[in-house]
Amino acid sequence: MSAIRREPAALQREYYARTAERYDGMHEQLPHDLALQHIIGFARWTDAQSLLDTGCGTGWGLRVVGSALPHLRLRGNDPSRELLDVAVNRYGVPRASLDCVSSEELPYGDGEFDVVIATGVMHHVARPERVIAEMLRVARTAIFVSDANIYGGGTVHARVAKRLLANMGLLAYVNRGRRGGHEWYYSEGDGVAWSYSVYDSVRQLRAAGTDVLIIPTERSHPRAAINPLRWSAHGLLCGLKIPLPRPAIDR
């Protein structure tokens, strides 16, 4: 049966099961690595004591953060048992710190973690707003989303067109027309994916009362730092629930 006729959630689960053993080598980690360095800096600055990596996959983000901040209480969740098995069996992530559950309904209490992160998750879910709502619920100080910015990739004309269509509320309709009647698409390199931008989630974070910051994490174009919406294909979306601490100033 053709991939485009399959139910996307089941198709993605099968994709992870089939590629789990080689998953890390199939994906570019540099934008997420840059994002994690910012997250680690925030955690240090606020003296965070706990962090949840939702959609943690093989535990790569947990390992990076845990190496830099060994005092943190770390937890991860992912709906793919096969990816979590790689985290445990290959990389030594404690199984007791992992939960095989979806990011859309987290089994944790309100404000249970100081920081909640998601790297490369939102473009794999049909309703990213549900995941972000859960992240906001279980986070005490901040959430961080490292993901794609579809408006900053492709040709100049494609970037402008995608942004205009999104502003008019037409991008989803155009995507369905291009993709055989559904918004998602499938590739052997990434499985099931939706067209997503970290900028799409800004309104939700602001409505929740968080301070919002977007940091470009892909700077192949010299204008990326000046106008990341248009020129950076990846970004780190920061939703801060507490004021940043002010540095002490000697008088």
d(CA 204, CA 179) in angstroms, rounded, equals 27
Per-residue pLDDT, 225: 78
Q: Tell me the backbone φ, ψ of residue 150, rounded to 5 degrees.
A: -65, -25
The full set of domain ranges for the chain reads 3-240
Q: What is the pLDDT of residues 179-215, one digit of tens each?
A: 989 999 999 999 999 999 999 999 999 999 999 999 9
47: pLDDT strictly greater than 50: yes
Average the pLDDT over 40-46 and give the result. Answer: 96
d(CA 84, CA 109) in angstroms, rounded, equals 22
Per-residue pLDDT, 243: 83
Return the CATH architecture of domain 3-240: 3-Layer(aba) Sandwich (3.40)
Among 20-34, 57-71, 80-94, where is mean pLDDT lowest?
20-34
Confidence class for position 2, pLDDT limits 50, 70, 90: very low
Average the pLDDT over 13-35 and give the result. Answer: 90
Per-residue pLDDT, 245: 67
97: pLDDT strictly greater than 50: yes
d(CA 85, CA 20) in angstroms, rounded, equals 9
d(CA 86, CA 104) in angstroms, rounded, equals 22
Per-residue pLDDT, 226: 80
Q: Is 21 exposed, middle or buried (0-12, 13-18, 19+ CB in 10 A)?
A: middle
Q: What is the pLDDT of residues 127-151, one digit of tens each?
A: 999 999 999 999 999 999 999 999 9
Cα distances from 59 to residues 63, 190, 208, in angstroms, run 6, 17, 28
> Within 10 A of 97 (CB to CB), how many other CB atoms are there?
18
d(CA 97, CA 107) in angstroms, rounded, equals 13
d(CA 126, CA 113) in angstroms, rounded, equals 25
Confidence class for position 250, pLDDT limits 50, 70, 90: low
56: pLDDT strictly greater than 50: yes
3: pLDDT strictly greater than 80: no
Confidence class for position 70, pLDDT limits 50, 70, 90: very high
